[in-house]
């Protein structure tokens, strides 16, 4: 498909290749920068293997409120972690040459993609975590919390930057010339191109598209170089041409946009290699990349509780016991493990179309052949009591979601999660594994739970979960976000005066890996 589009582009009057982008952004990334760089490189290879040259990644939002539906796209509530994680950019684009000029985009050939730092700026700070809403903060707060990762991204040669749907103190970012042109282009000396979000200029007005000629004028004059116009693109091109003819938009603004877009295309080598390299296809879903994903899972899992008392740890679990119970909505569901932006925009709610290992399958592969694994998504109390289980693994969490559909006011796990924890953990020793894009409310159940693991969105590689649960590898992960007791406390971030979390930012218990054979 991409090649067909490209051939159409190349057969046009000027023969300029087009650049095609995709949302290759995933996971809750509480991991180290080196690992993230390797993930970036693997992502670049897989994106290029499908003929696409441009990834709308990384999301460098600083999520200040987990009620936000895009919180799982953010690395942390702490800008220092988000800044460190911009190391995914050289993974996606390639290592910046030593002699490169600051702010000039860099993409190292046809196994790499153009990256996109997003969403400029303040998208993670909206009031009450409402997606696309208003970030109310003074300039110093914006600069100190939401801006720093953009300094790092520009310094690392990021090719493009996407503007946020959100507003800053009531002004839509898509119309904010002071920040897009004044700060990003003039002050930070960013030389790549600025792209709008999906129908982003339409949303300058409320309701969207209410005054389209104003939206085009405001967006282009703010400094946006490329518009994401998924429908009715002729409306945009006609309106833009008309405004240039009438000198509403000066030709110098068009020249700036064209120069920036061409600069990225030249740097990428698109003129030399416009078509897909079919030899890269074997990288798609390769075992090497799956192993990398599995490593990312085990390093990002956070052990939040381990035993009713410190001297009675439950984890690592024993592989060789007579019988264990696996229960819960998320124990055998790849769609749930992956979350949004998977197969479909809002994710899927089953195992179809995803090649991978569920947590249940991983448990069955990991335990001793003599251990009986009994699985029931929602067992009743009688079933639990009438079977002599050594322990139980309860896997619960959220439905998949993306963007506004993920906005929530309650941050609760889906039913029958709460009653399931009560039934199972009330009758047998249990470890609860939470599959979610963010901290969710767990405080009411803590006294019943023996061990608690935040697994985030482990994606296709469920064995990364069992790697640490059963002690083949240690638990090392720490919370990149504050875990609240209740939603009434939100927003609550590390450093706040009223800071009283269930688990603080940076918390995470560690374990020693098991050595030798269990008897």
Q: What is the pLDDT of residue 519?
A: 46
Averaged over 47-54, what is the pLDDT? Answer: 96
Structure tokens at 16: 């300029």
Q: What is the pLDDT of residue 104?
A: 97
Q: Is the confidence at residue 27, as pLDDT, over 60?
A: no
Please provide the DSSP assignment of 171-210 as one string. Answer: EEGGG-HIIIIIIIIIIS---SEEE--TTTTGGGSSSTTT
Q: What is the pLDDT of residue 515?
A: 72
Cα distance between residue 487 and residue 485, in whole Å: 7
Q: Is the confidence at residue 517, as pLDDT, over 60?
A: no
Strand 302-306 and strand 451-456: pairing?
Answer: antiparallel
Q: What is the pLDDT of residue 352?
A: 86
Do the beta carbons of residue 380 and residue 406 sit within 8 Å?
A: no
Averaged over 27-41, what is the pLDDT? Answer: 80
Q: Is the confidence at residue 38, as pLDDT, over 70?
A: yes
Averaged over 260-275, what is the pLDDT? Answer: 97
Given the residues 46, 73, 87, 197, select the one marked as catalytic. Answer: 197
Per residue in 429-465, pLDDT tens? Answer: 999 999 999 999 999 999 999 999 999 999 999 999 9
Do the beta carbons of residue 268 and residue 34 sit within 8 Å?
A: no
- Whether the full predicted model's pTM is greater than 0.85, yes or no, is yes
CA angle 37, 39, 42 (to 5 degrees): 115
Q: What is the pLDDT of residue 518?
A: 55
Per residue in 276-293, pLDDT tens? Answer: 999 999 999 999 999 999
Q: How far apart are the first and last CA of the chain?
A: 56
pLDDT band at residue 514 using 50, 70 and 90 as cut-offs:
confident
Helix or strand holding residue 408 (H, E): none
Query: Of 166-180, 341-355, 502-516, which has the strongest mean pLDDT?
Result: 166-180
Given the residues 78, 123, 403, 467, select the one marked as catalytic. Answer: 403
Q: Is the confidence at residue 87, as pLDDT, over 70?
A: yes
Q: Is the confidence at residue 516, as pLDDT, over 80?
A: no
Q: 259 vs 232, which has greater pLDDT?
A: 259
Strand locations in 419-513, DSSP E? 430-435, 451-456
Has 95 been annotated as catalytic?
no
Do the beta carbons of residue 406 and residue 354 sit within 8 Å?
A: no
Cα distance between residue 508 and residue 512, in whole Å: 13
Helix or strand holding residue 5 (H, E): helix 2-10
Strand-pair partners of 461: 357
Q: What is the pLDDT of residue 243?
A: 98
Per residue in 371-412, pLDDT tens? Answer: 999 999 999 989 999 999 999 999 999 999 999 999 999 999
Q: What is the pLDDT of residue 31?
A: 67
Taking residue 504's Cβ as centre, other Cβ atoms within 10 Å add up to: 12
Helix or strand holding residue 326 (H, E): strand 323-327
Residues 6+ apart with CB under 8 A from 256: 223, 225
Q: What is the 3-state secondary structure (H, E, C) of 17-74?
A: CCCCEECCCCCCCCCCHHHHHHHHHHHHHHHHHCCCCEECCCECCECCCCCCCCHHHC
Q: What is the pLDDT of residue 30?
A: 56
pLDDT above 70 covers a percentage of the chain that reads 98
Structure tokens at 130: 């409402």
Has 295 been annotated as catalytic?
no
Taking residue 239's Cβ as centre, other Cβ atoms within 10 Å add up to: 17
Averaged over 46-64, what is the pLDDT? Answer: 97
Do the beta carbons of residue 346 and residue 405 sit within 8 Å?
A: yes
Please provide the DSSP assignment of 444-500 as one string. Answer: GGTTT-SEEEEEE--TTBTHHHHHHHTTSS------SS-B-S-GGG-S--TT-TT--
Residues 6+ apart with CB under 8 A from 69: 129, 131, 401, 402, 403, 404, 405, 406, 407, 408
């Amino acid at each position: 498909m991409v090649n067909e589009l490209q051939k159409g582009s190349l057969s046009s009057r000027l023969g300029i290749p087009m650049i095609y982008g995709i949302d290759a952004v995933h996971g809750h990334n509480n991991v180290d920068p080196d690992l993230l760089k390797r993930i970036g490189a693997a992502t670049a290879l897989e994106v290029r293997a499908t003929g696409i040259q441009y990834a709308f990644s990384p999301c460098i939002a600083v999520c200040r409120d987990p009620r936000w539906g895009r919180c799982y796209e953010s690395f942390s509530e702490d800008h220092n972690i988000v800044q460190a994680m911009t190391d995914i950019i050289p993974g996606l684009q390639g290592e910046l040459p030593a002699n490169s000029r600051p702010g000039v985009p860099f993409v190292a050939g046809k196994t790499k993609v153009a990256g996109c730092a997003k969403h400029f700026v303040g998208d993670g700070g909206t009031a009450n975590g409402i997606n696309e809403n208003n970030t109310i903060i003074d300039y110093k707060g914006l600069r100190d919390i939401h801006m720093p990762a953009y300094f790092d991204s520009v310094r690392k040669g990021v090719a493009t930057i996407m503007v946020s749907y959100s507003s800053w103190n009531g002004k839509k970012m898509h119309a904010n010339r002071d920040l897009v042109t004044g700060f990003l282009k003039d002050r930070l000396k960013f030389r790549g191109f600025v792209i709008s979000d999906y129908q982003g200029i339409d949303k300058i007005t409320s309701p969207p598209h209410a005054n389209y000629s104003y939206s085009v004028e405001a967006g282009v004059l703010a400094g946006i170089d490329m518009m994401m116009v998924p429908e009715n693109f002729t409306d945009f091109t006609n309106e833009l041409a008309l405004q240039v003819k009438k000198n509403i938009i000066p030709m110098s603004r068009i020249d700036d946009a064209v120069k920036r877009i061409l600069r990225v295309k030249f740097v990428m080598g698109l003129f030399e290699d416009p078509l897909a390299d079919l030899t890269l296809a074997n990288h798609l879903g390769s075992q090497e990349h799956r192993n990398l994903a599995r490593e990312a899972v085990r390093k990002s899992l956070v052990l939040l509780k381990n035993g009713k008392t410190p001297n009675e740890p439950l984890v690592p679990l024993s592989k060789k016991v007579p019988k264990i119970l696996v229960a819960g909505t998320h124990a055998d569901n790849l769609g749930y493990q992956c979350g949004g932006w998977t197969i479909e925009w809002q994710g899927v709610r089953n195992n179809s179309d995803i090649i991978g290992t569920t947590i249940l399958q991983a448990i069955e592969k990991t335990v001793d052949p003599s251990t009986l694994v009994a699985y029931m998504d929602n067992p009743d109390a009688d079933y639990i009591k009438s079977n002599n289980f050594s322990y139980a693994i309860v896997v619960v969490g959220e439905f998949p979601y993306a963007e506004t559909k993920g906005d929530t006011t309650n941050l609760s796990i889906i039913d029958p999660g709460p009653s399931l924890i009560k039934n199972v953990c009330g009758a047998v020793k249990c470890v609860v594994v939470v599959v979610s894009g963010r901290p969710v409310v767990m405080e009411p159940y803590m006294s019943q739970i023996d061990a608690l693991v935040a697994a985030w969105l482990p994606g296709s590689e469920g064995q990364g979960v069992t790697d640490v649960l059963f002690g083949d590898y240690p638990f090392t992960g720490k919370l990149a976000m504050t875990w609240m007791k209740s939603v009434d406390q939100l927003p609550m971030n590390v450093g706040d005066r009223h800071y009283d979390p269930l688990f603080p930012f940076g918390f995470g218990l560690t374990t020693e890996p098991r050595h030798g054979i269990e008897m």
